[in-house]
Structures are given as structure tokens and as C-alpha cells.
Amino acid sequence: MHLAVAFLASALVCTLALDNGLMRTPPMGWLAWERYRCDIDCELDPKNCISENLFMDMADRLSEDGWRELGYVYVNIDDCWASMDRDKQGRLQADPKRFPGGIPKLARYMHDRGLKLGIYGDMGTHTCGGYPGTTLDKIETDAQTFAEWGVDMLKLDGCYSNATEQAEGYPRMSKALNATGRPIGYSCSWPAYQGGLPPKVNYTQLGEICNLWRNYGDIQDSWDSVLSISDWFYKNQDVVGPAAGPGRWNDPDMLIIGDFGLSMDQSRSQMALWAIMAAPLFMSNDLRTISSGARAILQNKMVIGISQDPMGVQGKRLLMKKSGIDVYWRPLSENTSALVFFSRRNDMPYRYQTSLGKLNYTAGTYKVFSVFTEKVATLKDTSDFVVSVNPTGVVLLYVSAPAKHRQFHANAKLHGPAYFRHDDLDNAIPPSFL
Ligand SMILES: *[C@@H]1O[C@H](CO)[C@@H](O)[C@H](O)[C@H]1NC(C)=O
Ligand SMILES: *[C@@H]1O[C@H](CO)[C@@H](O)[C@H](O)[C@H]1NC(C)=O
Ligand SMILES: *[C@@H]1O[C@H](CO)[C@@H](O)[C@H](O)[C@H]1NC(C)=O
Ligand SMILES: *[C@@H]1O[C@H](CO)[C@@H](O)[C@H](O)[C@H]1NC(C)=O
Ligand SMILES: *[C@@H]1O[C@H](CO)[C@@H](O)[C@H](O)[C@H]1NC(C)=O
């Protein structure tokens, strides 16, 4: 049932994405804002200030610690990189003290390592941090400057502009980026400034002009923040979900896994809920000191594979049970799918009993792989099973047909071993699936 609906849905989501060929799967990488904010005091805090060193450090980690091969390729500067004044030709320029080599040096640094550089701008008189913004008369100049610098992605914020200016500015920047001839991924904060919902937000139009867009408020380093963002997106899934597809993504904001606010279970929950949402995966953390536990979650190949499914259909919440268990589902290519059982409870691991049939799986027998525990089961749609879900945690299942020997759908960019080999699974089918 779900599968039929999914294929219908993907047929209806025609290819009206921004035509720059980019981000056919949700973009992945690293973004400075949540962890590093507008820290510009390099004397007091040399390791963490917004400077070329910070971005070069992160590029080193991405390219040397196995992140790049998994798809984490963008290194994105956020606010507070610019000089307070434009140059004599009216162009933006980086703060020369913190970025002595300028942005082109950073772009080369990224490209030499197989990475991409993202930058931040703002449709308005000033950025949210008070730096020079991109007013309507500066759109083409700034697009051209970013292209000449070798930038690969632009996040365009919306502080200090009104709705009329935004309605003109965001589409015009899309055209201006295209006119540079350089493929530049375009992240629009526009809908977040319009309340995130129709009739103010036109998701059809957004999909035509932006590769991704921020619908809702900024993420902070806390579980409350993750949960409130997740709940907003899933509550509005019927409105925002159909807008997503290859080249065009809803952006619930950064992954804060590896920071200070989340337990390991909550970290798995953010990763699973973001993957089901087909969300961009931009980490904002310190890759120099990240714990092995957080790294294992962020580098889990199956959850990345679910996130990066080429069909690009955004998943949804199916059920919210009185027990405090929610069930989420995302259809994936080749008749596979992912299920998440998420617990809102704060008391104990909860044993949730269900069957695939109750979740509308009706094709007989399935092979089920539990992504974070690496347990495997073969389940009949009619048989009950139990998952034990930790408080504020998840159980994430990858579901496929049992007989078909296929490899888990790897990110097209990856050439290494597949995420998932059925041969490994055939040996290890446990009697129960807990
Ligand atoms: C610009 O848009 C055209 C038409 O939509 C597209 O074919 C082309 O690839 C785009 N170029 C860039 C650099 O985005
Ligand atoms: C938006 O700002 C522009 C330029 O500052 C101004 O001319 C216009 O009246 C404003 N529009 C609204 C609806 O506030
Ligand atoms: C939304 O945008 C699309 C594409 O730009 C346009 O055809 C449509 O008329 C817009 N819808 C509304 C309600 O403005
Ligand atoms: C998916 O399932 C449908 C219906 O069961 C079947 O017709 C189709 O061939 C399957 N597709 C793949 C790629 O296995
Ligand atoms: C299963 O499908 C039926 C009929 O389309 C629908 O009413 C029901 O909500 C679905 N159940 C779940 C758990 O998605």
C-alpha cells in the first residue's frame, strides 16, 4: 500500500527542480554556525574563531578521517566572515585579519581535497550578525564575486529585508547565480522568514529557484530544540513533504551530534529522523575532538544510505501512539523502505509490539535490518514483533524483500564496498527481533 502510494507520489513530483544539476540527493557536509556562531576574537580563542584556520582544520578532518568518502563534502562558512565595508568596486570582501588569503584561498584548499566551499550572505541591508548584506542592487555583483572566488554553495539569509524585497531578491539571486555559469548550490532562508507555510510560502516556486530552504527556526544545542524542529516538520509533512525531491530539499537545520546537548540515544534519534525527512546533513561540531560514539552515528553507512536514497521521497510520521511511541516511514528505491520507532518517553526502554502488516506492508515476507544494532530478521507481514525503544531514542529499520539479493543503495558518489550486503545477513537471522 505504502509502496504504491510512494510510486504515485514520486511520479507526481515532476522534475521542476532548480536546473543546476546539483544536490540530487540531500547535500552533506559541515557548517560553522551552530557550534562556532560569530566568534571573531582570534586572540582569545584562536582554535575556534571564524577564520581560515578553522575551515582548513575541518577540511583536513573531513578528508583524512573518512567523512568525505561518505558524502560529507561541503565545508560551509556562515555569518561573520566579511569585512564591515565593501571594497572600492562595491564588492564584498573577507575580513583580512581572519582570512588573510581571502575566500579564493579557502576554495582552492577545499577543491584540492575533493571538497566544496559554501559561503553565507543575506538578502537585506545587513546580515543577521550586522555585516554587509546583499541589497537588491547588489545581487548580481555578489553572485559574480562568489563565482569568481570559486564558491560552490550560497546560504542566503533574510535578516533586515521586508517581504517585498525577499519576494524579488530570492528569485533574482537564483537567476544571478545561474548567469555566472558556475554551478552554485543555493540555500534559501526565505520560507523561514514567512512562517514556513502557505499561503505565504509557495513551495512550488521554491523548488524551482532553490536547492534547499530553511522552513523553520535555527537549531540550538539541546534535545528540546531537536524535538521541536522535528515535530514542526512532521506536523506539517503533508504541506512541506511533497516539495522535496532530487535537487530540492526541506532543511530542518544542522546536525548537532557530537556537541554538548544530546545523549547518544538522542543523537541516533536526530540522525534517524533527519534521514527519514530526506534532510540535508550538515554537521556543526568540532571534528578535531569528536567522540568515537558520535562519529559512529554520523558515519553509519546505512543511515547515510537511507538519507541519500536516489528516489528522494521525503518520509513521514505514520503513527503517534498513546504509549509515547511514534512510527515514521520513508519509501526508498527498489521497493525498500525505512521505519523508525521513536520514543517520547522519559522513564524506561519501552517494548513496542507491532507487525509489518499493521504498518501496511502487505507483500508477505520481508528482510529487516536494524541499522544501529545491526540485528537482522526475516519477518512475515502477519507476525507480531517487538522493538525495545530507549527513552528519547529510536530503533531504525531498513526493510527489503527477502529473496532479492541486492546491495544496499549506495550513494552514487561512493565506489567503496556497498553499505549493505545480503550475504552477510543470510547467516545471522536471530529467532526474535528485539
Ligand atoms: C542555468 O540554467 C539553465 C536552464 O535552466 C541550465 O541548463 C544550466 O545548467 C544552468 N547553469 C548553471 C551554471 O546553473
Ligand atoms: C520594503 O522596503 C522597501 C525598501 O526599503 C520600501 O520601499 C518598501 O516600502 C517596503 N515595503 C513594505 C511592504 O514594507
Ligand atoms: C507558486 O509558484 C508557481 C511557480 O512559480 C506559480 O506557477 C504559482 O502560480 C504560484 N502559486 C501561487 C498561489 O502564487
Ligand atoms: C516493486 O514491486 C512491484 C509490485 O510488487 C513490482 O511490480 C516491481 O517490479 C518491483 N520493483 C523492483 C525494482 O523490484
Ligand atoms: C494503512 O492504510 C490505510 C488505508 O490507506 C490507512 O487508512 C491507514 O492509516 C494506514 N496505516 C498506517 C499505519 O499507515
- For ligand 4, atom 12, which residue shows the shortest CA distance? 334
In the prediction, which pLDDT does 422 show?
37
Nearest to 186 by CA among 113, 236, 232, 134: 134
CATH: 3.40.50.300, 1.10.10.60, 3.20.20.70, 3.40.50.10490. Which one for 16-307?
Answer: 3.20.20.70
In the prediction, which pLDDT does 17 show?
84
Strand order in the sheet with 185-188: 249-251, 212-214, 185-188, 153-157, 116-122, 74-76, 28-31, 281-283
- For ligand 4, atom 14, which residue shows the shortest CA distance? 334
In the prediction, which pLDDT does 403 show?
59
List residues with catalytic annotation.
Answer: 157, 218
Q: How far is CA 146 from the centre of its chain?
A: 23
Task: Report residue 292 as a C-alpha cell.
Answer: 568515537
Distance 335 CA to ligand 4 centre (A): 6
- For ligand 1, atom 10, which residue shows the shortest CA distance? 20
Which residues of the chain register pLDDT less than 50? 1, 3-14, 405-434
| 167-188 exposure pattern, b = at least 16 Cβ within 10 A, e = fewer | bebbbbbbebbbebebebbbbb
- Ligand 4, closest atom to CA 404? 14
In the prediction, which pLDDT does 19 show?
87
Q: How far apart are CA 105 and CA 163, in angstroms?
A: 35
Domain spanning 316-433 has what CATH number?
2.60.40.1180
360-393 tens-digit pLDDT? 999 999 999 999 999 999 999 999 999 999 999 9
Distance 201 CA to ligand 3 centre (A): 10
Cis ω for the linkage preceding 199 (within 30 of 0): yes
Query: Which among 335, 360, 409 is the best mutation to test ligand 4's pocket, defined by most ligand atoms within 8 Å of the CB?
Result: 335
- For ligand 1, atom 1, which residue shows the shortest CA distance? 178
- Ligand 5, closest atom to CA 327? 13
Give residue limits of the domains in the chain.
16-307, 316-433
Distance 124 CA to ligand 1 centre (A): 25
3-state secondary structure of 294: helix
Do domains 16-307 and 316-433 share one topology? The answer is no
Q: Is the CB of 334 under 6 A from ligand 4?
A: yes
127-181 tens-digit pLDDT? 999 999 999 999 999 999 999 999 999 999 999 999 999 999 999 999 999 999 9
In the prediction, which pLDDT does 76 show?
99
- For ligand 1, atom 6, which residue shows the shortest CA distance? 19
Q: Is the CB of 221 under 6 A from ligand 3?
A: no
In the prediction, which pLDDT does 80 show?
98
In the prediction, which pLDDT does 385 show?
96
Q: Is the CB of 335 under 6 A from ligand 4?
A: yes
